[in-house]
Amino acid sequence: LATLLALSAPAVAGSFSISPLRVDFTATASTAALTVRNEDAAPVVVQTQGLAWSQEAGQDALTPSRDLLISPAVFTLQPGGSQLVRVALRRNVDPVRELTYRVLLQEVPQVASPDFTGLQVVLRLSVPVFVEPLAPAAAQVAWVATRGDDGRLSLSARNDGSAHARIHGFSVKTADGAATVLDQPELAYVLPGSSRHWTFDD
């Protein structure tokens, strides 16, 4: 996710990419490697952090966690260069429920020149990490639609299963299915024991 919006002043930001886009751990496979590549023409300094990932009140919540060991913690990417980032789980997997984390990779802002008058934009990318439990796990998602006093339509997806649900997108149609009322094309996750909410102006 790129943070900050460019206003009327010019904006300056680095550019780097990550592969793969998610990490999956099991009881027998608790290490992984990410390749981070600098797509910019200037060096970029990147800082890493492991975060516990939950969902509260229908929204994502991230808190610092020591459950993930990430190395290196800080590194410099030369133009066109790449860096291998190793991620390891340093706790036991849960017996029955999937554990969820995120690896945050954030550009460290560099000191601007004294004559710079634009806006510095910090690039931040977040990679989901899923830890499979010992027992077989699956998602169980139930949907609820409500309309508030202001007339806005709200949808909730509640996951009572033991693994995350990956929602690639959804559509809301009329009762007879003849017309599409709303489209939500964005990817979203619903974590086990959690819910996600969407509110629309229709």
Task: Determine the pLDDT at residue 16.
Answer: 85
pLDDT band at 112 (very low <50, low <70, confident <90, very high): low
Strands 31-38 and 68-71: unpaired
Burial 110-139 (b: 16+ CB within 10 A, else e): eeeeeeeeebebebebbbbbbbbbeeebeb
Q: Give the pLDDT mean for 178-199.
A: 83
Quick check: 5 pLDDT over 80? no
Percentage of residues of the chain with pLDDT beyond 90: 59
Q: Give the pLDDT mean for 123-150.
A: 93
Question: What is the residue-averaged pLDDT of the chain?
Answer: 85
Quick check: 120 pLDDT over 80? no
Q: Give the pLDDT mean for 103-114.
A: 79
Q: Give the pLDDT mean for 73-94.
A: 96
